[in-house]
Amino acid sequence: MQNYFLTTVKYERTAEEGKIVKVSEQHLVDALSFTEAEARINKEMQSFISGEFFVDKIARTKVNELFYNDNADKWFKAKVNFISLDEIKGIEKKTPSFMYVQANDIKDAEERLNEGMKKSMADYEIASITETKIIDVFKYKAE
């Protein structure tokens, strides 16, 4: 499992009406530490934002899998329970896993999640899917 950090970046931009508005955006960053996550989000944002901005928050988040879709602009967080049988006790055991799916709506996210999970041999159930405020995901790229 990779380390992902949920970062919040704040800045001001000019809206369509000409007003200056404060903007807060969330981005998911693949990094080894809080320090690296802050450095990477600062580097990534310099190409998108002209002017001043600052990283308001950084929080480690559990991500077991990412499912990308170039034709979608929203990110959804899915809690997926993997189901296994405890043979000693004779009961089902559910192990939660958190996945992010890029999709257009919740129905699309569920379809894409099920499509991505076809490769898995494990039994699973989707416990929840919720829309996030994540704008983009920045995976690690070797330079």
**Chain-centroid distance, C-alpha 38:** 16
Specify the length of the chain in residues.
Answer: 143
Q: What's the whole-model pTM score?
A: 0.87
Nearest to 85 by CA among 128, 127, 126, 123: 123
Residues in Cβ contact with 70 at an 8 Å cutoff, skipping those fewer than 6 apart:
none
Residue 2 has pLDDT above 90, yes or no: no
Residue 142 has pLDDT above 90, yes or no: no
Question: Please, where are the H alpha helices in 5-138?
Answer: 34-46, 106-117
Q: What order do you get walking across the sheet with 91-103 strand by strand?
A: 65-67, 91-103, 74-86, 123-131
Residue pLDDT, tens place only, 73-122: 999 999 999 999 888 888 889 999 999 999 999 999 999 999 999 988 88
Residue pLDDT, tens place only, 24-80: 999 999 999 999 999 999 999 988 887 889 999 999 999 999 999 999 999 999 999
Strand locations in the chain, DSSP E?
Answer: 4-14, 20-30, 53-61, 65-67, 74-86, 91-103, 123-131, 134-138
For position 88, what pLDDT does the model report?
Answer: 82
Burial label, 21 (beta-carbon count in 10 A; 0-12, 13-18, 19+): exposed
pLDDT band at 1 (very low <50, low <70, confident <90, very high): low
